[in-house]
Amino acid sequence: MPLAFPTEVTVVEMLPRDGLQRLDRFVPTEEKIRIIDALSQTGVSEIEVTSFTHPTAVPNLRDAAAVTAGITRQPGVTYRALVPNVIGLERAIEADIEKVNALITASEEYNRRNQNMTIEENLDEIIEVIERGHEAGLVVEAGIGMAFFSPYEGRTPPERTLAIVESVVDAGVDEVTLATSMGMANPKQVAGLVESVFTRWPDVDLGMHLHDTNGMSLANTVVAMQLGVERFDASVCGLGGGVILPKSMEDIGNTPTEDLVYMLSEMGIETGVDFEELTSVAADVMDSLDVRPNSHVLKGGTREQVLRETSES
Amino acid sequence: MPLAFPTEVTVVEMLPRDGLQRLDRFVPTEEKIRIIDALSQTGVSEIEVTSFTHPTAVPNLRDAAAVTAGITRQPGVTYRALVPNVIGLERAIEADIEKVNALITASEEYNRRNQNMTIEENLDEIIEVIERGHEAGLVVEAGIGMAFFSPYEGRTPPERTLAIVESVVDAGVDEVTLATSMGMANPKQVAGLVESVFTRWPDVDLGMHLHDTNGMSLANTVVAMQLGVERFDASVCGLGGGVILPKSMEDIGNTPTEDLVYMLSEMGIETGVDFEELTSVAADVMDSLDVRPNSHVLKGGTREQVLRETSES
């Protein structure tokens, strides 16, 4: 039986939040606004623009309100923000954000260090975010970090992640996203967990947030797509990673958006993203943030670029 | 229906041939022998040790006979060599090689530049290699380069690759390997071609030789495995690439063996390779050849290394 892939996929751009939070410096507000506005022109359907967290927890994103106030919102683009709790949600509502990513992790230790709550306390908080968010007319997604592996406890037992999915689904969450926050999931584990989720909740709107530490994020994407996942987070230049993880872990970035969009486009899967626009934003990000991209396509080029290069050689 | 993966996979180590041929310098014969002997201790089942090509075509491997004479052959390891023609085969037979990789590409222009033959002429030559090889008791594999994409003609029409498969299968070849020599195949294209091959020749012993230019080689591996492919070439540190391709193309290496073996091991797929041994050879290769590895796992670490790092932090 031929392998089945979707015809359309939603790409969510994470650079402004996941990409900038762990950077070794604060990116000025105007610079953030300029990058988000450029991303808004690429055809991407959704952008996570910032995080409404305590300024001392994520100092790089302490200007969340100023950023959301300053950007030019394009029709057709969903602007979402991460919120770790109800206080963050209230700030997001004030900032006129239409969708929030309510964060919880499946790692007790990471949750304690990052959110200063037990999983249980965090779940109570997230359920309140879902209820209060819905009252305020927001779309609420639950992003489940460390869904596959925790840098403190190792392999995450599937039951633990499934129990969190159950709680947020029961609370009426709009979307669920499984995150490989350490980038240490493999295609078999991804397939297993995604199958379990769809078996129990066939109608859940399930997305993936993949980091690429082990180089398997595109492979993980492909198996998730085969099982029906049609929403993927990614970050321009592959920037990203949790703030509290050791600084020595340099290669824990998200799936580079360029690589994801290029693969999907080569596979004939529609994303709405203009690849040329996207790589021009990526080039600008490399320059202005002075980062080396983790993406393959920015280094090795596209088929078209290769053909051009050989025709000149 | 759950996705199906094999329980066992054969990994073929390509470093001594594909990895060294394009290097900017000649690696001394004793150094090559030392590396091959170290690779022989990793548990890998097959090593492509050299290429019996004209010394001016691939000067880096001009010591093919001395290398094959100098290595210590381990029981259980298959030592194979690339041969582009019958002259190469005769040299391989003299060198007591037990298996040859008979090279042909699906790109008329690449074939002309690299092998100085049309595809038709090359096929005649390869068919003679198969016959003569079998007479001499060798296993003959046909490696089909540019099976998906050519840097000169673009996308390879599947019919062209399938016609080559047909010719070599009709000639009684033992194994067929599809190569993404430019590393520009995508999972959908790989799935399509592999499906076509298995539909027409359900019993063919089909392998994949993947380069990772576009970062999709592990994703391509995963879809190929789902369709029944159980043999994959890879190269330590991800070194590799065609000799005649422009020097500016730096990122055209093979799937790094470390990344492939790590993924398979995390997926519970047996390869026989000892991961610790393999990474110690990789570290040695990095040092002695003074190369930066393309592999993710050497940079981002394994799950075990991450756990160790966080427990100390």
Q: Do B303 and A227 touch (CB under 8 A)?
A: no
Q: Do A263 and B187 touch (CB under 8 A)?
A: yes
Q: Do A151 and B310 touch (CB under 8 A)?
A: yes
For residue B313, what pLDDT is reported? 67
Q: For residue A137, is it within any domain? A: yes
Separation between Cα atoms, residue B237 and residue B279, nearest integer Å: 9
Q: Give the tokens for residue A89.
A: 């949600």
Separation between Cα atoms, residue B85 and residue B224, nearest integer Å: 29
Provide the β-strand partners of residue A211.
A254
Q: Do A251 and B307 touch (CB under 8 A)?
A: no
For residue A244, what pLDDT is reported? 86
Separation between Cα atoms, residue B110 and residue B246, nearest integer Å: 12
Residue B1 pLDDT exceeds 80: no
What is the average per-residue pLDDT within B231-248?
93
Q: For residue B297, is it within any domain? A: yes
Tell me the C-alpha to C-alpha distance, in Å, between residue A52 and each of A83, A162, A294.
Answer: 5, 26, 27
Identify all chain B residues contacting A108, using CB atoms and an 8 Å cutoff.
none
Separation between Cα atoms, residue A103 and residue A173, nearest integer Å: 12
Closest CA to A211 of A179, A187, A188, A237: A179
- Structurally, chain B folds into a number of domains equal to 1
Identify all chain A residues contacting B181, using CB atoms and an 8 Å cutoff.
none
Name the residue of chain A whose CA is nearest to B307's CA: A151
8 A C-beta contact, residue B180 and residue B209 = yes
Supply φ then ψ for residue B278, to 5 degrees: -60, -45
Closest CA to A114 of A152, A86, A148, A87: A152
Identify all chain A residues contacting B222, using CB atoms and an 8 Å cutoff.
187, 219, 222-223
Q: Do B300 and A214 touch (CB under 8 A)?
A: yes
H runs (alpha helix) in A235-293: 257-266, 275-289
Domain that holds residue A108: 10-312
Separation between Cα atoms, residue B72 and residue A219, nearest integer Å: 37
For residue B292, what pLDDT is reported? 87
User: How many other C-beta atoms are found inside a 10 Å radius of the C-beta of residue A170?
Assistant: 11
Closest CA to A271 of A51, A13, A98: A13
For residue A313, what pLDDT is reported? 67
Residue A1 pLDDT exceeds 70: no
| Cα dihedral B309, A224, B261, B53 sign | negative
Confidence of residue A248 (pLDDT cuts 50, 70, 90): confident
| Cα dihedral B213, B217, B223, B225 sign | positive
Q: Do B249 and A300 touch (CB under 8 A)?
A: yes
Interior CA angle at B88 toward B87 and B91, to 5°?
Answer: 90
Identify all chain A residues contacting B219, using CB atoms and an 8 Å cutoff.
218-219, 221-222, 263
Q: For residue A3, is it within any domain? A: no
CA of B134 vs chain A CAs: smallest distance (Å): 35
CA of B269 vs chain A CAs: smallest distance (Å): 10
8 A C-beta contact, residue B208 and residue B177 = yes
Closest CA to A14 of A37, A39, A31: A39
CA of B107 vs chain A CAs: smallest distance (Å): 13
Beta-strand (E) ranges in A161-205? 175-180
Task: Count Cβ neighbours within 10 Å for each residue of B154-172 and write b for 16 or more, e otherwise.
Answer: eebebebbbebbebbbebe
Q: How many CA atoms lie within 13 A of B224 on its CB side?
A: 29
Confidence of residue B248 (pLDDT cuts 50, 70, 90): confident
3-state secondary structure of A7: coil
Q: Give the tokens for residue B131.
A: 């016959």
Contacts with B56 (C-beta within 8 Å, 6 or more apart), sequence order: none
3-state secondary structure of B13: strand
For residue A197, what pLDDT is reported? 98
Q: For residue A2, is it within any domain? A: no
Q: What is the pLDDT of residues A118-176, one digit of tens each?
A: 999 999 999 999 999 999 999 999 999 999 999 999 999 999 999 999 999 999 999 99
Residue A6 pLDDT exceeds 70: yes
Q: Do A267 and B299 touch (CB under 8 A)?
A: no
Residue B195 pLDDT exceeds 80: yes
Confidence of residue B234 (pLDDT cuts 50, 70, 90): very high
Separation between Cα atoms, residue B51 and residue B17, nearest integer Å: 6
Q: Do B295 and A215 touch (CB under 8 A)?
A: yes
Q: Do A297 and B186 touch (CB under 8 A)?
A: no
Q: For residue B24, is it within any domain? A: yes
Q: What is the pLDDT of residues A195-247, one digit of tens each?
A: 999 999 999 999 999 999 999 999 999 999 999 999 999 999 999 999 988 88
CA of B297 vs chain A CAs: smallest distance (Å): 5
Q: For residue A187, is it within any domain? A: yes
Distance, C-alpha A303 to centroid of its chain: 27
What is the average per-residue pLDDT within B255-274?
98
Q: Indicate the helix (H) or strand (E) that contains B90.
A: helix B86-94
The CATH number of whichever domain residue B239 belongs to comes to: 3.20.20.70
Q: Do A189 and B266 touch (CB under 8 A)?
A: yes
Confidence of residue B312 (pLDDT cuts 50, 70, 90): confident
Name the residue of chain A whose CA is nearest to B224's CA: A3
Q: Give the tokens for residue B186.
A: 């995508």
CA of B261 vs chain A CAs: smallest distance (Å): 12
Task: Report which of residues B262 and A2 the model is more confident about.
Answer: B262
What is the average per-residue pLDDT within B176-191?
97
Q: For residue A4, is it within any domain? A: no
Identify all chain A residues contacting B262, using CB atoms and an 8 Å cutoff.
214
Cα Dmax for chain A: 62
Model pTM above 0.80: yes
Task: Count Cβ neighbours within 10 Å for each residue of A121-159 and write b for 16 or more, e otherwise.
Answer: ebbebbbebbeebeeeebbbbbbbbbbbbbbbbeebebe
First to last CA, chain A: 42
Name the residue of chain A whose CA is nearest to B153's CA: A307
Q: What is the pLDDT of residues A68-82, one digit of tens each?
A: 999 999 999 999 999
Confidence of residue B38 (pLDDT cuts 50, 70, 90): very high
HEC assignment per residue over B246-297: CCCCCCCCECEHHHHHHHHHHCCCECCCCHHHHHHHHHHHHHHHCCCCCCHH
Q: For residue A1, is it within any domain? A: no
Q: What is the pLDDT of residues A188-206, one digit of tens each?
A: 999 999 999 999 999 999 9
Q: How many CA atoms lie within 13 A of A261 on its CB side?
A: 28
Closest CA to B15 of B225, B293, B249: B293
Separation between Cα atoms, residue B286 and residue B306, nearest integer Å: 22
Provide the β-strand partners of residue A143.
A103, A177
For residue A311, what pLDDT is reported? 83
Q: Give the tokens for residue A275.
A: 């690849």
Provide the β-strand partners of residue B180.
B210
| Cα dihedral B199, B201, B204, B208 sign | negative
For residue A293, what pLDDT is reported? 86
Confidence of residue A2 (pLDDT cuts 50, 70, 90): confident
Percent of chain B at pLDDT > 90 equals 92
Mean pLDDT, rounded, of chain B:
96
8 A C-beta contact, residue A229 and residue A259 = no
Percent of chain B at pLDDT > 70 equals 99
Name the residue of chain A whose CA is nearest to B299's CA: A251
Interface-testing mutation among B1, B3, B212, with chain A (most A C-beta atoms within 10 A): B3
3-state secondary structure of B1: coil
Of the partner residues B188, B222, B302, the one whose CB lies closest to the CB of residue A219:
B222
For residue B208, what pLDDT is reported? 98
Distance, C-alpha A51 to centroid of its chain: 12
For residue A298, what pLDDT is reported? 92
Mean pLDDT, rounded, of chain A:
96
Q: What is the pLDDT of residues A263-304, one digit of tens each?
A: 999 999 999 999 999 999 999 999 999 998 889 999 999 999
**Can you spell out the DSSP letters for A71-114?**
S-PPTT-EEEEEESSHHHHHHHHHTT-SEEEEEEES-HHHHHHH
Amino acid letter, B243: V
Separation between Cα atoms, residue B259 and residue B266, nearest integer Å: 10
3-state secondary structure of B154: strand
